[in-house]
Structure 1
Amino acid sequence: MPAASRGFDGGKKVNGRKRHIVVDTLGLLVAVMVTAASVTDSEVGRTLLKWLRKRHWHISLVWADGGYTGRLVGLARDVLRIALTVVRHTDATAGFVVLQKRWLVERTFAWLMHSRRLVREYETRAEPSEAMIRWSMSVVMSRRLARQAR
Structure 2
Amino acid sequence: MALLWADGGCTGSLVEYGLTVLALVLAIVKRSDDMRGFVVLPKRRIVERFFAHLMRSRRLVRDFERSTSSAEAMVYWSATMLMTRRLARPRPSRA
Give TM-score, length-normalised by structure 2.
Answer: 0.79
> How far apart, in 2, do the equivalents of 1:80 and 1:131 lie?
21
Deviation, 1:149, is 5.8
Percent identity over the alignment is 51
CA spacing shift, 1:131–1:79, aligned 2, 3 Å: closer
CA spacing shift, 1:127–1:76, aligned 2, 3 Å: closer
CA spacing shift, 1:91–1:137, aligned 2, 3 Å: same
CA spacing shift, 1:148–1:70, aligned 2, 3 Å: farther
- Unaligned 5+ segments in structure 1 are 1-55
Within-5 A mapping of 1:1-150:
56=1, 59=2, 61-77=3-19, 82-148=24-90
CA spacing shift, 1:143–1:89, aligned 2, 3 Å: same
**Cα displacement string for residues 112-150 of structure 1 (whole angstroms, at most 9, x for unaligned residues):** 111111111112222111111110111000000001567
Aligned AA for 2:10?
A: Y
Greater strand share, 1 or 2? 1
> How far apart, in 2, do the equivalents of 1:118 and 1:82 lie?
27
CA RMSD in angstroms, aligned pairs only: 2.2
- Unaligned 5+ segments in structure 2 are none
Larger radius of gyration, structure 1 or 2?
2
Give TM-score, length-normalised by structure 1.
Answer: 0.53
Aligned AA for 1:133?
A: V
